[in-house]
Chain A
Amino acid sequence: MGYPHTPHEKETVVLSKYFGDAEARSYDGWVQRGGYEALKKALGMSPAEVIDLVKESGLRGRGGAGFPTGFKWSFMPKEKSKPHYLCCNADESEPGTFKDREIMRWTPHALIEGCAIAQHAIQAEVTYIYIRGEFTEPLRIMQAALDDAYKAGVLGANAMGSGKQLDMYIHRGAGAYICGEETALMNSIEGRRGNPRIRPPFPAQKGVFGMPTTVNNVETLTAVPHILVQGTDWHKGLSLSNPKSAGTKLFSVCGNVARPGNYEVTMGFPLRDVIYEMAGLPEGRTLKAVQPGGSSVPIINREEAEACLLDYEGCVEQHTMLGSGGMIVYDDTADMVYQIMRLARFYAHESCAQCTQCREGTAWTVRILERILRGEGKMKDLDLLLDLGEQMTGKTICVLSDSCAAPVASGIERFRGEFEAYITGAREPSLAPA
């Protein structure tokens, strides 16, 4: 479903099937729609069998990195000597992305079911669902669903009558983009500043509270029950281009579009169809640029966008990344210089302050871009921005700094003329959006 619209005929609705259906929110409603069958099935399997199944399905992380989910699970110790934890990353904060929000708002039990299956697979007693603090409505809905799941015996000391202990708690964030980074998220659960940790150790060895931990995104976990019920062949079959990318993916289409919303398509779906047919450009506008995977991925131009297939490999081929699937669309009225400055300001605001390049580099980048917008920039500022971008890429603990550099560098490469217009005075200085 192209929530909040009726679904487009080219969508493949799996995760978004019940978006907008308020009855799907309740425990009974969810069971009536086939809910918790997958969990029942999973609890009848050994953890290793569940992991193998997910490995076989080709499911990859939907939070941004695209790491194969089954493999991630398989890194957890097989022989349990200490507590294991599952953390569900519901800190959806990547500008342009709003899919996890809708999953939690409309199908909270789908997420609980996915968490419970993963928990069983990695032999974790406890799941912490880390929901960003601003998501007041998803927080309420998820808490109500958790309460119902406990009441119904899905969770608790004897989950679904399996004799297994499955506990699940919500941990509310408090305003920090970086907590969507898995090690920062673990620190935040532990009651610390949300600073990313250096790796190794990896979470599967030493995660939250120093124990073996797996962190999975909401959309990833929600996809798992479907794989259990419909099988790996079904999931692998959901692939229009590269077989390494399988399943459906929610794209949160926003920015300059006529019908913003979440569109669920099969991996490998053409980006151009999402923009031109599903979301549609505003009347009379033309496409200028797209960030298909959230604000952190390189900006691509119209030609690249029109050639782009929406899977992990297809995006890389067009010099960008699939990321979180937060698709920011810029039309011909967009002021790329202002918008890139606005993105840089976001990263400067959110930098955790640990790594030098990020702490200082993001803020410096903003100052240079603001100066250009004020009409006081110099041509050499553009090379300086690119050079700072080099210094900010691949050198820090996490990729926040890279994420600031990517749109700046890709933006200058593709829209240098817009920057130069501010610098030469061909364009009126303005620190406000067009």
Chain B
Amino acid sequence: MAESTDLVTLTIDGVEVSVPKGTTIIEAAKQVGVVIPHYCYHPGLPVAGVCRMCLVHVEGTPKLQIACATPVAHGQVVEPYREDAVNARKGVLEFLLINHPLDCPICDQAGECELQDYVFHEGQARTRYTPDYAKRFNPVEDFGGDVLYVPNRCILCTRCVRFMEHVADDPILNVSERGDRAFIGVHADRNLDHPWSGNVIDLCPVGSLISKDFLHKARAWELDKAPSICTGCSQGCNVVLETRQGTVVRKRPRSNLDVNQFFLCDHGRLAYRWMNRGDRIEAPLVRHDGELIATDWDHALHDVAGLLGGSGGEVVVLASPGASNEALFLAREVAGDGFRGVFRVERVGDDVPLDGVPNLALRAERAPNVKGAETLGYGERGDLGADLSAASVVLVLGDALDGLDPTALDRVPHVVFIGTVLPEVGRVASAVLPTTNVAEEDGSFVNRDGRVQLYLQAKSGPGMARPAWWALGELLRELGRGDSPMSAADVFASMASTVEAFGGLSYRTLGTRGAPLGSGSTAAATA
């Protein structure tokens, strides 16, 4: 973006637009709803200008110009659809296809392939590269990590090479050889083992770099997509969860320039299988004659409300820092005056940064909502001993028991477990309430930088599982301390009216980009 705020006014496809000085034509065109076809250009990478797909006519210049590298100018008239520009792009598409195997039926990229899309829009119906000529052939290569390289589909746009060189700052991909013999190469000394290298799969505009994890798993058009937040660490990368028939089959970055730009680390990318696990609690359980037995929600809520109402002592909420703000807030409300909230968080090694992007890393802190828990009054504990021994009831929220000493809960009079999968330690619980996971509900997290971000439901939960906020909201009603909330947004609204840091924020204002804690307050809004 230009340093100066000077605006430049130009005309693109007959529409006048003003953009900051220094903007390129390709970005300015987006402002008027024109996507100029392109392959090598990507807003997260340095400009290469090599695919020559984004050629447009600029009045007064003898040659067609590449929109990705040509800055806007006052009074400039850009005609992306003039005959000479369309013909030039037609030519590029024909060149790109002469060696292409046209194996779309077995290509994972089919349906989300920019080669298919642009040929559909602007290509020619027939090739003049007759079958008399052999096509270039190179075998499929395993680049390591999650990445397979199918060189025959490669259009040499070099996005992957530029990502590794300029964004990851670890050039382990290259362009090898010259002319039409060129391909994307590696050196035998190293796999594509950089912890952020999976991004080359998303960056590849065609089916040349593909995910081994996703290989032949689904057709692009069968996928349902929901915006979500990665739970792999406290960075809060924006992601899309892609499901096929109720199963998460792929997790990809969703662009957010304030958080992860366009990228997602491999740890986060591949950590989605747990969302599909089959050993879930599917019905509320209550203890009866020493045994946990399945029951319905009404009975379970009634029993739990009885435990809480009759406890008289301190209610400790042992929460997972992966629980939503909504669940953490309502758990606090349920605990009432005797509330004490604690959480534990796993830390692994050091942050693993993506060098080319400021403030982006796989964080050592491996939970998505530590900041949210802290903001809502929960405290981190290394040793839970003192906290738990004083409690009359421990409300366990989410996967908060992982790795806990099996005897830790022995002396607690009552344990209520609210979560997705019951671990061995949790079997001492007096009641178990089944909840949905991050893929199965709406909710919000606060990332390490204090940014509140929403995630939306991608698939349905198993059996009778309900969002934790629902279960906790119903408990509040049972306890006579509130009405049932209708949605996660409702819960957020009451949290915003109670907790100052969330003040003024709402699901509507957060949208798909999120907003910093405190930014919704009147003071911040007028600042």
Instruction: Tell whether, in the assembled complex, residue B92 and residue A356 are in contact, meaning their CB atoms are under 8 Å apart.
Output: yes
Give A350 to B177 CA distance when docked, in angstroms.
10
Task: Flag whether B53 is at the interface (Cβ < 8 A).
Answer: yes
**Other-chain contact of A198, B47, B55, B175 (Cβ < 8 Å):** B47
- Chain-A contact segment, one of B127-135, B303-311, B428-436, B452-460: B127-135
Q: A383's closest neighbor in chain B, by CB?
A: B128
- B 93-121 binary contact with A (CB < 8 Å = 1; else 0): 01110110000000000000000000000
Give A394 to B88 CA distance when docked, in angstroms.
10
Give A196 to B181 CA distance when docked, in angstroms.
18
**Other-chain contact of A356, B47, B52, B64, B69 (Cβ < 8 Å):** B52
Instruction: Tell whether, in the assembled complex, residue A353 and residue B177 are in contact, meaning their CB atoms are under 8 Å apart.
Output: yes
Tell me the smallest distance from the CB of A386 to a CB of chain B, in Å.
12
Residues of B within 8 A of A190 (CB): none
Task: Flag whether B317 is at the interface (Cβ < 8 A).
Answer: no
Residues of A within 8 A of B62 (CB): 394
Residues of B within 8 A of A114 (CB): none
Give A349 to B177 CA distance when docked, in angstroms.
10
Task: Flag whether B50 is at the interface (Cβ < 8 A).
Answer: yes
Task: Flag whether A371 is at the interface (Cβ < 8 A).
Answer: yes
Instruction: Tell whether, in the assembled complex, residue A363 and residue B179 are in contact, meaning their CB atoms are under 8 Å apart.
Output: yes
Give A176 to B177 CA distance when docked, in angstroms.
11
Tell me the smallest distance from the CB of B183 to a CB of chain A, in Å.
9
**Other-chain contact of A395, B47, B63, B94, B132 (Cβ < 8 Å):** B63
Instruction: Tell whether, in the assembled complex, residue B156 and residue A359 are in contact, meaning their CB atoms are under 8 Å apart.
Output: yes
Residues of A within 8 A of B26 (CB): none
Interface positions of B from 202 to 230, Cβ below 8 Å from A: none
**Other-chain contact of B156, A353, A390, A397 (Cβ < 8 Å):** A353
Residues of A within 8 A of B50 (CB): 354-356, 397
Task: Flag whether A362 is at the interface (Cβ < 8 A).
Answer: yes
Give A350 to B52 CA distance when docked, in angstroms.
19
Instruction: Tell whether, in the assembled complex, residue B132 and residue A360 are in contact, meaning their CB atoms are under 8 Å apart.
Output: no
Instruction: Tell whether, in the assembled complex, residue B178 and residue A360 are in contact, meaning their CB atoms are under 8 Å apart.
Output: no
**Other-chain contact of B63, A348, A364, A367, A394 (Cβ < 8 Å):** A394
Residues of B within 8 A of A198 (CB): 47-49, 66, 69
Tell me the smallest distance from the CB of A282 to a CB of chain B, in Å.
34
Give A368 to B105 CA distance when docked, in angstroms.
29
Instruction: Tell whether, in the assembled complex, residue A364 and residue B182 are in contact, meaning their CB atoms are under 8 Å apart.
Output: no
Interface positions of A from 333 to 364, Cβ below 8 Å from B: 348-357, 359-364
Give A376 to B131 CA distance when docked, in angstroms.
13
Task: Flag whether B468 is at the interface (Cβ < 8 A).
Answer: no
In the complex, which of the residues A198, A351, A360, A397 has the most CB atoms of chain B within 10 Å of its own CB atom? A360
Task: Flag whether B337 is at the interface (Cβ < 8 A).
Answer: no
Task: Flag whether B281 is at the interface (Cβ < 8 A).
Answer: no
Q: A401's closest neighbor in chain B, by CB?
A: B52
Task: Flag whether B237 is at the interface (Cβ < 8 A).
Answer: no
Instruction: Tell whether, in the assembled complex, residue A362 and residue B52 are in contact, meaning their CB atoms are under 8 Å apart.
Output: no
Task: Flag whether B395 is at the interface (Cβ < 8 A).
Answer: no
- Where chain B touches its partner, the secondary structure class is loop
Residues of A within 8 A of B52 (CB): 355-357, 395-396
Task: Flag whether A384 is at the interface (Cβ < 8 A).
Answer: yes
Tell me the smallest distance from the CB of A431 to a CB of chain B, in Å.
15
Tell me the smallest distance from the CB of B366 to a CB of chain A, in Å.
39
- Given contacts A364-B95, A367-B133, whether A394 and B69 have CB atoms under 8 Å apart is no
Total count of chain A residues near the partner, CB < 8 A: 29
Instruction: Tell whether, in the assembled complex, residue A351 and residue B98 are in contact, meaning their CB atoms are under 8 Å apart.
Output: no
Q: B178's closest neighbor in chain A, by CB?
A: A353
Tell me the smallest distance from the CB of A364 to a CB of chain B, in Å.
6
Residues of A within 8 A of B64 (CB): 394-395
Residues of B within 8 A of A349 (CB): 178-179
Instruction: Tell whether, in the assembled complex, residue B95 and residue A360 are in contact, meaning their CB atoms are under 8 Å apart.
Output: yes
Task: Flag whether A193 is at the interface (Cβ < 8 A).
Answer: yes
Instruction: Tell whether, in the assembled complex, residue B96 and residue A360 are in contact, meaning their CB atoms are under 8 Å apart.
Output: yes
Interface positions of B from 322 to 366, Cβ below 8 Å from A: none
Residues of A within 8 A of B96 (CB): 356, 360
Task: Flag whether A26 is at the interface (Cβ < 8 A).
Answer: no
Task: Flag whether A391 is at the interface (Cβ < 8 A).
Answer: yes
Instruction: Tell whether, in the assembled complex, residue B180 and residue A360 are in contact, meaning their CB atoms are under 8 Å apart.
Output: yes
Give A384 to B133 CA distance when docked, in angstroms.
14
Give A354 to B155 CA distance when docked, in angstroms.
10
Instruction: Tell whether, in the assembled complex, residue A348 and residue B132 are in contact, meaning their CB atoms are under 8 Å apart.
Output: no
Residues of B within 8 A of A351 (CB): 178-180
Instruction: Tell whether, in the assembled complex, residue B63 and residue A362 are in contact, meaning their CB atoms are under 8 Å apart.
Output: no
Tell me the smallest distance from the CB of B194 to a CB of chain A, in Å.
21
- Given contacts A356-B96, A359-B182, A360-B99, whether A391 and B91 have CB atoms under 8 Å apart is yes
Give A281 to B155 CA distance when docked, in angstroms.
47
Tell me the smallest distance from the CB of A244 to a CB of chain B, in Å.
20
Instruction: Tell whether, in the assembled complex, residue A371 and residue B132 are in contact, meaning their CB atoms are under 8 Å apart.
Output: yes
Instruction: Tell whether, in the assembled complex, residue A352 and residue B91 are in contact, meaning their CB atoms are under 8 Å apart.
Output: no
Residues of B within 8 A of A359 (CB): 95, 156, 179-180, 182
22 contacts between A and B (CB under 8 A): A198-B49, A348-B179, A348-B180, A349-B178, A351-B179, A352-B179, A353-B175, A353-B181, A354-B50, A354-B158, A355-B52, A356-B96, A356-B155, A357-B91, A359-B179, A360-B99, A360-B180, A394-B62, A394-B64, A395-B55, A395-B64, A397-B49
Question: Residues on A close to B: CB < 8 A?
Answer: 176, 193, 198, 348-357, 359-364, 367, 371, 376, 384, 390-391, 394-397
A-B pairs, top 6 by smallest CB distance, nearest first, are: A353-B182, A391-B91, A360-B95, A363-B180, A351-B179, A198-B49
Contacts A356-B95, A362-B180 known; 13 new A-B pairs at CB < 8 A? A198-B48, A353-B156, A353-B180, A354-B50, A355-B51, A357-B52, A357-B91, A357-B95, A359-B95, A363-B179, A367-B133, A391-B91, A394-B62
